[in-house]
Amino acid sequence: MPRLRSEKARQSVMAAMRAAVTSDGYESVTIEGLAAEAGVSKQTIYRWWSSKAAISVRRC
């Protein structure tokens, strides 16, 4: 049985993306930085989104 996405993790990644874009600009955002800020692994992010652009498209 596949694991369901954690809504808490999803919200954390989205909040980390908003904060990073607001403070440093989109070009400075990294998956590593998002993972650290959100408290999730890079694998978690890549499992759900293919790139940082895919995260930003979700309307942070």
CB atoms within 10 A of CB 30: 13
Identify whether 2 is part of a domain. Answer: no
Cβ-based neighbours of 16, under 8 Å, separated by 6 or more: 33, 34, 37, 38
pLDDT given for residue 6 in this prediction: 87
Domain count, the chain: 1
CATH of the domain at 50: 1.10.10.60
1 belongs to a structural domain: no
Angle 7-24/31-38 helices, nearest 10 degrees? 120
pLDDT tens for each residue of the chain, 60 residues long: 555 568 899 999 999 999 999 999 999 999 999 999 999 999 999 999 999 999 987 654
CA neighbor of 58 nearest in space, from 11, 24, 20: 11
What is the DSSP code (8-state) at residue 58?
A: T
Is residue 28 situated within a structural domain? yes
